Amino acid sequence: MAVIATIERIGQFVGQTVTIRGWLYSKRSSGKIRFLLVRDGTGTIQTVVSKKDVTAEAFEDTDRLTQESSMVVTGTVRADARAPGGYELLATDLKMVQVAAEYPITPKEHGPAFLLDHRHLWLRSSRQHAVLRIRSHVIQTAHEYLREQGFTLFDAPIFTGAACEGTSTLFSTDYFYDQKAYLSQSGQLYAEAGAMAFGKVYTLGPTFRAEKSKTRRHLTEFWMLEPEVAYADLGDLLSLAEQLISHLVQSVLTHRRRELEILERDLSRLEPILPPFPRITYDEAIDLLRSRGVTIAWGDDLGGDEETIVSNHFDRPAMVTHYPLKIKAFYMKAASDRPDLALCVDVLAPEGYGEIIGGSQREDDYEQLVARLVEHNLPREHFEWYLDLRRYGSVPHAGFGLGIERTVAWICGIAHLREAIPFPRMLQRLYP
Ligand code: NSS
C-alpha cells in the first residue's frame, strides 16, 4: 500500500510511490500516453499514464474519465521544473471512483448568474478555490494572532432582541411566545459584556444586514471579526487595527503566495501594507474631497465613491477618524474637546476597496448612554442589560468590526464580495 499524499505536500515524496485521491480537472492524450491533470483540493498535479506502466483496464479507463470524475491514482513522484507546480506523478495504478456526468462548467466563458447558480460546483475552479483558501487562511491567522495578543474568543448570539447598527437593516423572525427575534447585525454589544469579564475578547461569526443595496460591497449575510478591549481608547484601537491588518496581509503573502499568483494579484500593492497606516480626520477627508472637486457638505457620510477617492490617495489603508457624531451609531463616545465628533474610525482599504473596518471608543458613561438611546429612539427596556455594563464597573473601552469578505476581496484583488464567501447571500440570491 502506497502512502496517501496530498498534492500540496507532494514535494516531500520525490522518488517515492504515493496515492492521490481526487478528481480529473482536464486531460489530453498523445499516442500511448495520457496526461491527466488531477486536483485533490490542495492543488493540481499532472499525472502521466503510460500504457506500458498500468494494466490494460486502467489504461482504457483513462479514456472514460470525464471532467470532474473522481479517481484514485498511485504513482511515483518526479520533480520536473517544466511541470505546473514543479512535480509530476508517473502512474502505476488508477482506479475510477465515479464517472462524472457532463460537467456544466467548462473552460468557455460563463456569465456571473450562471456561475452563481452553480456555486456548489464553481467552488472547484482554480480562481474560486484560491480565493476561498485565502479566506480560510485569513480567518485562521486572525484567530492565532488575537490569541497570541491575549484575547479570549467570546461567541455572541445570532438571535438577538434588539438592533445594534440601526433598526432599518434588521432581519426579524418569529420567536417563541409571540416574541420577535432579530438576526444579529454585530456581536459588539455582547463583546462589550465579554470585555468587562475577560479584558480582551473577540467575536467571529456571521452577521446580517437587511440592506436593499445591490452594490458589489454588500452581502446580506457576512462574517465579522470583532475585537473589544477594556481600558482602551481610540488610539489603542488604531494600533490594534493597523497591526492586525498588516499581520493578515503579510501572512497571506508568505503562506498563500501560490493562490495570489493564480489570482494574478499585483503583489507590489500588498507588500507595503505595514504599520503605521495614515491617519486622517473626517474634517481632513472632507477638505481632501473638496480639493478633488467633490461637492460634499460637512455632516454627510462618505459613500463608496468618496471612500474610493480618499483611499486612492494612500498606498496603505487609511484610518479616517472623528466622524460627526450624529451620523454614527448610538454607542459611540463623543470627543471631549469636540462633542459633535465621535471617537471612531473607519479603515479604508486602498485601490478603491473602501471600508473594511468600522469601530469606536464606546460611551462608558451611564447618563450619556441613556441620553443617546433616547436620541436614537431605541427601546430602553431592551438595553437594560447593556446599561448594567455602565452601572457596574464601567471603564473606557473600544472595539471594531472587520468585515471578512471585504478584507478577503481586497487581498485577493477581486471586484465583487460574492466570490469571497462560499455561498453568498444577496438581495436576489438565496440559492444554492
Ligand atoms: O457597521 S459596521 O461599520 N460596524 C459595526 O457593525 C460595529 N458594531 C463593529 C464593532 O465596532 N464591533 O460594520 C463593520 C464592518 C464594515 O467595516 C464592513 O467591513 C463590514 O463590517 N460590513 C459589511 N460587509 C459586507 N456586507 C455588508 N452589508 C456589510 N456591512 C458591514
Domain CATH code at residue 137: 3.30.930.10
Q: What is the pTM of this model?
A: 0.97
pLDDT at residue 108 is higher than 90? no
Q: How confident is residue 213, by pLDDT bands cut at 50, 70 and 90? A: confident
How far is it, in rounded angstroms, from Cα 230 to Cα 358? 18
> Domain range for residue 154?
119-419
Helix (H, G, I), strand (E, B) or coil at 402: strand
- Which residue's alpha carbon is at the smallest distance from atom 3 of ligand 1? 358
Compute the average pLDDT of residues 209-231.
Answer: 95
Atom of ligand 1 nearest to the CA of 220: 28
224 CA → ligand 1 middle, Å: 7
Residue 109 lies in a domain: no
Q: Whole-angstrom distance between the N-terminal and C-terminal Cα of the chain?
A: 39
Task: Return the C-alpha cell found at 258.
Answer: 501560490
Residue 113 lies in a domain: no
Q: How confident is residue 262, by pLDDT bands cut at 50, 70 and 90? A: very high
How high is the pLDDT of residue 84?
A: 80
**% residues pLDDT > 70 (the chain):** 100
Residues 277 and 360 in one domain: yes
Q: Is any ligand 1 atom within 6 A of the Cβ of residue 221?
A: no
Residues 91 and 227 in one domain: no
74 CA → ligand 1 middle, Å: 48
Per DSSP, the residues of 259-273 read: HHHHTT--GGGTTT-
Helix (H, G, I), strand (E, B) or coil at 47: strand
Residues 81 and 134 in one domain: no
Residues 133 and 184 in one domain: yes
How far is it, in rounded angstroms, from Cα 206 to Cα 187? 9
Q: Is any ligand 1 atom within 6 A of the Cβ of residue 218?
A: yes
Residues 45 and 130 in one domain: no
Find the largest Cα–Cα distance for the chain. 84
How far is it, in rounded angstroms, from Cα 357 to Cα 377? 26
* Domain's final residue, options 98, 131, 153: 98
* Domain's final residue, options 98, 132, 161: 98
Which CATH number does the domain housing residue 61 bear? Answer: 2.40.50.140
Q: Which of 183, 216, 224, 427 to mutate to test the pocket of ligand 1 (most atoms within 8 A of CB)?
A: 224
Mean pLDDT rounded to a whole number for the chain = 97
Compute the average pLDDT of residues 106-117.
Answer: 93
Residues 191, 399: contact at Cβ < 8 Å?
A: yes
54 CA → ligand 1 middle, Å: 56
Q: Is any ligand 1 atom within 6 A of the Cβ of residue 186?
A: yes
Residues 156 and 289 in one domain: yes
How far is it, in rounded angstroms, from Cα 419 to Cα 123? 9
Compute the average pLDDT of residues 205-218.
Answer: 93
User: What are the pLDDT digits (tens) for 324-371?
Assistant: 999 999 999 999 999 999 999 999 999 999 999 999 999 999 999 999
Q: Which of 351, 350, 356 is nearest to 417 (CA)?
A: 356
What is the bridge-based pairing of β-strands 344-349 and 87-98?
A: unpaired
Residue 187 lies in a domain: yes
pLDDT at residue 83 is higher than 90? no
In 140-291, DSSP assigns E strands to: 152-153, 159-160, 172-174, 180-183, 200-208, 221-230, 279-281
pLDDT at residue 69 is higher than 90? yes
Residue with cell 418569529: 174
Residue with cell 488610539: 235
Residue with cell 444579529: 184
Q: What are phi and psi of 247, to 5 degrees?
A: -60, -45
State the total domains in the chain: 2
For residue 65, the 8-state DSSP code is P
* Domain's final residue, options 46, 65, 98: 98
How high is the pLDDT of residue 413?
A: 98
CB atoms within 10 A of CB 147: 12
How far is it, in rounded angstroms, from Cα 190 to Cα 213? 27
Rg over CA atoms, the chain:
26
- Angle ∠(265,266,268) on CA atoms, nearest 5: 140
pLDDT at residue 21 is higher than 90? yes
Residues 154 and 201 in one domain: yes
Q: Is any ligand 1 atom within 6 A of the Cβ of residue 424?
A: no
Q: Which of 299, 344, 305, 304 is nearest to 165 (CA)?
A: 344
Residues 138 and 63 in one domain: no
pLDDT at residue 1 is higher than 90? no
Q: Which of 81, 87, 82 is nearest to 38 (CA)?
A: 87
Residues 131 and 91 in one domain: no
Compute the average pLDDT of residues 310-315.
Answer: 93
Per DSSP, the residues of 68-120 read: T-EEEEEEEEEE-TTSTTSEEEEEEEEEEEEPPPPPS--SS---HHHHHHTHH
Q: Is any ligand 1 atom within 6 A of the Cβ of residue 399?
A: yes
Residues 129, 123: contact at Cβ < 8 Å?
A: yes
Q: What are phi and psi of 140, to 5 degrees?
A: -65, -40
- Which residue's alpha carbon is at the smallest distance from atom 22 of ligand 1? 403
Residue with cell 468557455: 108
Task: Return the C-alpha cell found at 394.
Answer: 464601567
Q: Which of 211, 221, 222 to mutate to test the pocket of ligand 1 (most atoms within 8 A of CB)?
A: 222
Residue 104 lies in a domain: no
Residues 32 and 158 in one domain: no
Residues 223, 210: contact at Cβ < 8 Å?
A: no
pLDDT at residue 107 is higher than 90? no
Task: Return the C-alpha cell found at 194.
Answer: 465579554
Residue 427 lies in a domain: no
Residues 41 and 148 in one domain: no
Residues 401 and 341 in one domain: yes
How high is the pLDDT of residue 147?
A: 98
Residue with cell 505595514: 274
